[in-house]
Amino acid sequence: MDPQNKVAVITGGASGIGLATAKLLSANGASVVLADVQADLGAGAVHEIEAAGGRSHFVETDVLKAADLQRLMDSTVETFGRVDIVHNNAGINERGDFLQAGADEWQQTLAIDLQAVIRATQIAVVQLRKQGNGGVVINTASMGGIIPMPTSPIYATSKAGVIQLCRSLGYLASEGIRVNAICPSFTDTPMVRAAGEAAIERMAQEVGGILKAEDIAAGVLKLVEDDSRAGAVMRVTVRNGHDFAFERRPR
What pLDDT, on a 0 to 100 scale, did the predictor assign at position 138? 98
Nearest in space to 33 (alpha carbons), one of 6, 10, 67: 10
| Residue 224 · residue 134 · CB < 8 Å | no
What's the confidence (pLDDT) of residue 210?
86
171 belongs to the catalytic site: no
Q: Show the domains of the chain with their CATH numbers.
A: 7-246 (3.40.50.720)
Task: Give residue 205's pLDDT.
Answer: 67
The sign of the dihedral angle between the CA atoms of 162, 165, 171, 175 is negative
pLDDT in tens, the chain (251 residues): 999 999 999 999 999 999 999 999 999 999 999 999 999 999 999 999 999 999 999 999 999 999 999 999 999 999 999 999 999 999 998 877 888 878 888 899 999 999 999 999 999 999 999 999 999 999 999 999 999 988 889 999 999 999 999 999 999 999 999 999 999 998 887 766 665 676 667 666 676 678 999 999 999 999 999 999 999 999 999 989 999 997 665 55
- Residues forming a β-bridge with 178: 136
Cα dist from 74 to 19, 82, 112, 144, 201, whole Å: 21, 9, 21, 33, 42
Q: Which of 7, 155, 160, 234 is catalytic?
A: 155
pLDDT of residue 192: 63
Task: Read off the pTM.
Answer: 0.92
